[in-house]
Chains A and B, each alone.
Chain A
Amino acid sequence: MPFSFMTQAMETPPIGLALEYAVYAEGIEMVFSTGDQPLKVLKGIDLKIKTGDIQLLMGPSGSGKTTLLSILGGILTPTAGSVCLLGQYITALPRHQLAQFRLQNMGFIFQGFNLFPALTAAENIEVALNLKGLHGHEARQQSLKLLEQVGLGDKSKSLPSDLSGGQKQRIAIARALAGKPRLIFADEPTAALDSQRGRAVIELLRSLAKEEGCTVVMVTHDPRIMDIADRVVYVEDGMISPEPPGGTSSGINTHHS
């Protein structure tokens, strides 16, 4: 059912939906202006992701899945539609409130790791904790604990340049988990890793997410990690597709909007 996100944003989401779905998006449209021609990247996407699920967004390059991830993560504002995260409609929130919401509830993992090269492994995590209001000794202890969790307890003083790609991504996961977020958004977290390290990273993310009760939304091209996902959706030409483009689903629950 089409609706304006501005009017929808003023309403309170049904309590049942807020509890059952960590992510509840309806009618998401995104139009970019490129020169004279507006480019419609997302065309009315509806998506519900259950709390605690690992949800994959798959699809070919340019299909709009990263744009969708950015909108679901509250980083981009859609042209139309609404996003409700953890029972809170975020699409109409003022910029600073949205940033605060992200800070309190979300963690992000990036394809390129995006670690501060001048900071040690522990300090990279401490920055995230500092942002969330944890400082000094407490932040240091928490960052070391997170490094232990991702198996890099002995690398706390290493700079990113001294670590392998897999180790960097594990630090990025530890950073994303800082402050116990309820939602984690990951953009191709294994793209820069070989298959073995990629699988190890995803296994780690899965186990930690389950342990912490996080909902994980992940964009990936990597079919080898489909089997650890709870659900998979395919994005093609800006729309959700029930089946992989040109093929059948792999037995994983696919989402039907």
Chain B
Amino acid sequence: MVSIARKNLFQDLPRFIVAQAGIMFAVGLVTIQTGLLNGFTRSSSLLINSANADLWLASKDIRHLDFTLPIPYKNLKQAQQVEGVERAEALITQGSVWRYGVEGTATAGAIAPIRIIGFDPEGSLFHPAPVSEGNWDSLNRPYTFFVDKVDLKTLDVKRIGDGGEIGSYKGEIVGLTSGIRSIVSSPYVFTSLPNATAFLTSAMVQPKAEQPAPLALRDENRVTYILIRAKPGVDLEQLKRRLEAAVPDTKALTQSELTSMTQTYWRDSTGVGFILGLGAVVGVIVGTVVVGQILYSSVTDHLREYGTLKAMGSSDWFIYRIILEQALWMAVLGYLPGMGIVLVLGSWVQKTQAIQILVGPMTAGGVLVLTIVMCCGAAIFAIQKVTRLDPAMVFKS
């Protein structure tokens, strides 16, 4: 069957290109906004993915990953005694102050927010990955830490061996992670539990003349979480209840519960979903208007031919199908390059900014369906024109 739709579409190439640019813009905007929302949501709980625990034991007042009260270190021992617990490790996550330390730089002495992540480098329940350079064992040395490659510029350091001050204690970078960054958090500084405690208890004013060796944690020290690995076959719900009963003022959460709690908090409290959604709606409106205008003017240009088809006896549906086929071609041919550009852009943003534009199969499929609906919806204007078309117009010169 002759495809009038395809032929009409490609007949006027400049107009076709304008239409495709409009659709690509709409596809790009919707995908980027949705991808940013996905990336933002995922990024807000990214740190949880570094853990290999069944349960997280936290203060009963926990609101989300980054907002909870500290719990005593002695809770670790209590948790280890609970039936069904195979292994327990402490984790510290707490905000602190980074003082730019590379001498001679413009920022030397200025401060920036960071988030210290203290964990047991020899443990098995928390290991940020991937590591780009260095070895976790290096963290057993006093005042050493890892930072992420994407944060080097933010922290005004360049490589392993560079230093900076946390609180009022000097420290040294001994390793780099790659791509562990949360949009909602300050740059992560990974270190051992004793180092983290030392940094966090240091005075916030410099200079500190003496820098004592970090001490192993004692019962009265504070940590943020106790990570729990359950023995094989243990019912996690029952273990949660046993832990909460055995360790006072705590709440036990599975990894997925903590992830969900954190993602929901950031999505709802910041209004980011609404803002990014609004951008996506603007994209759809722009795309609909562009496609609608192009299809309408295309139909107007070919009105005499459509009138001829009607005079010959064609059904309205035969003509509607031509217009809808045009809309479908426009949708698919606008979607493919639009999505391609977004994927390339997303990859570049991830690499350079560590901001994730997360476009999974669901998002890609959803945007394709939305693009088709948008284009077919825009075709309604053109279809209305054909519906009103009087075939007798073909006899008018």
Contact = CB atoms under 8 A, between A and B. Distances in A.
B162 interface: no
A108 B311 contact: yes
A75 B392 contact: yes
Q: Is the interface of B mostly helix, strand, loop or mixed?
A: helix
Interface residues of A, number: 37
Nearest to B5: A118
A139 B2 CA distance: 10
B269 interface: no
B15 interface: no
B323 to A, nearest CB: 14
A135 B2 CA distance: 9
A136 interface: yes
Contact of A127 (B309, B311, B313, B315): B309
Interface in A104-127: 104, 106-108, 110-112, 114-119, 123, 126-127
Interface residues of B, number: 26
Contacts of A108: 308, 311-312, 394
B305 A116 contact: yes
Given A118-B7, A135-B1, A104 B394 contact: no
Contacts of B7: 116, 118-119, 123
A19 interface: no
Contacts of B302: 116
B395 A110 contact: yes
Contact of A104 (B309, B313, B315): B313
B312 A103 contact: yes
A131 interface: yes
A192 to B, nearest CB: 9
A116 B4 contact: yes
B240 interface: no
A115 B394 CA distance: 11
B2 A188 contact: no
Contacts of A135: 1
Given A123-B2, A191-B397, A118 B11 contact: yes
B11 A100 contact: no
A70 B390 CA distance: 11
Contact of A96 (B307, B315, B396, B397): B315
A128 interface: yes
B321 to A, nearest CB: 11
A102 B1 contact: no
A139 B397 CA distance: 30
Given A112-B397, A136-B1, 4 more contacts: A100-B313, A115-B305, A116-B8, A123-B2
Closest 4 CB pairs of A and B: A103-B313, A102-B313, A118-B11, A118-B7
Interface of A: 66, 69-70, 73, 75-76, 96, 99-104, 106-108, 110-112, 114-119, 123, 126-128, 130-131, 135-136, 139, 187-188, 191
Interface of B: 1-2, 4, 7-8, 10-11, 302, 304-305, 307-315, 318, 391-392, 394-397
